[in-house]
Chain A
Amino acid sequence: DVKVTQSSRYLVKRTGEKVFLECVQDMDHENMFWYRQDPGLGLRLIYFSYDVKMKEKGDIPEGYSVSREKKERFSLILESASTNQTSMYLCASRSTPGGAKGYTFGSGTRLTVV
């Protein structure tokens, strides 16, 4: 069973702090994704990565960056956290070929920026 693990379930950070959200998957998946989940807005794609050291902007990349130095780990970085980045962040991974049926999600990190 594919496991996608997000290192923190809850985080509270101050405005202006640099924040790292970590995601690790254990099934050698090539593709990894970061979404944010907000009430009334659903899940919105922030960034994704097709392979190590590769990254692509999603629909709402502003204020975020990512790092993928190893295949199993995909980090989301908030360079200078702001209150409008308070949200639930979901990581997902997918094998190729797997199409959409191959998506597996982590349990999420609820980030509060104060």
Chain B
Amino acid sequence: AQRVTQPEKLLSVFKGAPVELKCNYSYSGSPELFWYVQYSRQRLQLLLRHISRESIKGFTADLNKGETSFHLKKPFAQEEDSAMYYCALYGRGGGNKLTFGTGTQLKVEL
């Protein structure tokens, strides 16, 4: 079975402070990990995926297979980063399904 754990329901940081949203996963094969973001009153959208090793809107995430983690990081939080963030795992052995974590609400305060 594939499982994604996001331990924090809410993360509150001040503008300019570093951000780290935690994500751990459980999967027996080689996973594909993603971060999705949902801004207020907008649809869920892909933020980044581990395969592309990209930085989007200043966010990065590194897949750590030893720790089975895929934490989302940004060095300096901006007010517009306030949103709900979901970590997701795509497992080919699990029926090609995308499994989501419970989400972390990021609130950036001025």
Report which A residues bind B (CB closer than 8 A). 33, 35, 40-45, 48, 56, 58, 90, 92, 99-101, 103, 105-108
Contact (Cβ within 8 A) B102 A40: yes
Contact (Cβ within 8 A) B43 A42: no
Complex: chain A residue closest to B105, CB-CB? A39
Q: Which of B64-72, B73-81, B90-98 contacts A (4 or more CB under 8 A)?
A: B90-98
Known: A43-B100, A45-B97, A45-B99. A100 touches B49 (CB 8 A): yes
Contact (Cβ within 8 A) B90 A100: yes
Q: How far is the CA of A33 from the CA of B100 in the complex (A)?
A: 13
Q: How far is the CA of A40 from the CA of B84 in the complex (A)?
A: 11
Contact (Cβ within 8 A) A56 B95: yes
Q: How far is the CA of A66 from the CA of B107 in the complex (A)?
A: 36
- Interface membership of B109, Cβ < 8 A: no
Looking at the complex, which one of A40, A103, A107 makes contact with B98 (CB distance below 8 Å)? A103
Chain B nearest CB, measured from A72 CB (Å) = 18
Looking at the complex, which one of B6, B43, B86, B98 makes contact with A100 (CB distance below 8 Å)? B98
A43-B86, A45-B99 are known; give 15 further A-B pairs, CB within 8 A. A42-B6, A42-B100, A42-B103, A43-B44, A43-B103, A45-B98, A48-B97, A92-B98, A99-B90, A100-B88, A101-B49, A103-B46, A105-B43, A105-B44, A106-B43
